């Protein structure tokens, strides 16, 4: 098997304030192969966005990686000087943020923001950068691209701004695109267009995609594999088809039951009781135990390991027979 493009191993990322250490991501491991589309799913507050910012090394002040490694294309990103990381960020690895209005600089025209990335990473002339900018805007489906490059972010709709963000991320043809909730707050028509655009970029450019979302419908349409995250840990992973057909972890089942299905009455939607626990007050044993409909005594005493289960997936749950203790590796 070829080495993975991205391999995250035993990652721990925490918010540190005075003597308090709150682990938002705790011993997280996963990998992505070249050209693969993978989903990282879970409720708000489970650590998905912190994971993506850890990979990009864009953590806010007060957040830091405490342990683990992030290997990208054969290089451990956590050991790189910032200058070398900047050469990778936006070039070999790019990110589409959740809210484009806060990610785009409001005082710079659209064209200038994209051109700067091209000039920095590709060392081309301003004229060549302008030509590439117009071309990538056309590729992401933006009409009148020659006019849009002279406009400011506030002059564009939400869908158009998101297309600009994707254009900025893709203009240097990265090997990996991290998309953090790329369709949030967009109407369903624009959502479909954005997803089709990402699939086209993946198919034509061979770009691997890490899709961070809570929308399982999007996962079913876009992804090959899925990692389900809860309280900073992977609780289940499998191929998308296998997981949707036979989810093992009670949390995954809860997420699937809460997803609307065609023809289903809203009163029949499932729900998961409670909420993601506060990092200041995590429960003993299994972190999902206080919300789990299948909780057992052992769940409140011990922390389950992420282990191989029948069918080839990985699950962190005492309900399932342990066949092989997970010791790390590419998965």
* pLDDT tens-digit map of 142-152: 889 999 999 99
Phi, psi of 198 (to 5 degrees): -65, -40
3-class state of residue 284 by DSSP: coil
- Helix or strand holding residue 209 (H, E): strand 208-213
User: How many Cβ atoms from other residues are within 10 Å of residue 223's Cβ?
Assistant: 23
- pTM greater than 0.95: no
Q: What is the pLDDT of residues 176-186, one digit of tens each?
A: 999 998 877 67
Q: Where are the domains of the chain?
A: 30-59+75-92+172-325
Contacts of 173 (CB under 8 A, 6+ apart): 205, 207
pLDDT above 90: residue 170: no
- CATH class as words, domain 30-59+75-92+172-325: alpha beta
Helix axes 110-122, 158-170, angle to 10 degrees: 10
- Length in residues, the chain: 331
* Cα 53 to Cα 27, 65, 140, distances in angstroms: 16, 10, 24
Tokens of 167: 């254009």
Q: Rounded to an integer, what distance in angstroms lies between the CA atom of residue 12 and that of residue 51?
A: 9
pLDDT above 60: residue 30: yes
């Amino acid at each position: 098997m070829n080495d993975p493009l991205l391999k995250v191993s035993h990652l721990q990322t925490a918010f540190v304030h005075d003597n308090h250490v709150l682990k938002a991501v705790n011993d997280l491991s996963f990998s992505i192969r070249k050209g693969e589309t993978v989903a990282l799913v879970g409720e708000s507050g489970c650590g998905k966005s912190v994971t993506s910012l850890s990979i990009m090394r864009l953590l806010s002040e007060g957040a830091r990686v405490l342990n683990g490694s992030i290997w990208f294309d054969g290089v451990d990103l956590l050991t790189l000087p910032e200058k070398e990381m900047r050469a990778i960020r936006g070039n070999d690895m790019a990110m589409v943020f959740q809210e484009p209005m806060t990610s785009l600089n409001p005082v710079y025209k659209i064209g200038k923001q994209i051109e700067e990335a091209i000039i920095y990473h590709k060392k081309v002339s301003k004229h060549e950068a302008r030509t590439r900018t117009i071309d990538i805007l056309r590729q992401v489906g933006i009409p009148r691209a020659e006019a849009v490059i002279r406009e400011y972010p506030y002059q564009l709709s939400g869908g158009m701004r998101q297309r600009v963000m994707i254009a900025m991320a893709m203009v240097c043809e990265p090997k990996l695109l991290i998309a953090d909730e790329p369709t949030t707050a967009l109407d369903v028509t624009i959502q479909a267009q954005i997803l089709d655009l990402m699939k086209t970029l993946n198919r034509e450019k061979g770009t691997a995609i890490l899709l961070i979302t809570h929308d399982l419908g999007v996962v079913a349409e876009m992804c090959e594999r899925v990692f389900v995250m809860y309280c900073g840990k992977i609780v289940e992973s499998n191929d998308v088809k296998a997981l949707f057909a036979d989810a093992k972890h009670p949390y995954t089942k809860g997420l699937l039951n809460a997803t609307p299905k065609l023809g289903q009455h809203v009163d029949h939607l499932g729900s998961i009781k409670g909420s993601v626990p506060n990092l200041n007050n995590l429960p003993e044993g299994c972190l999902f135990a206080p919300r789990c409909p299948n909780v057992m005594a052992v769940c409140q005493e011990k922390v389950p390991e992420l282990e191989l289960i029948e069918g080839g997936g990985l699950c962190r749950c005492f309900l399932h027979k342990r066949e092989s203790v997970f010791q790390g590796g590419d998965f």
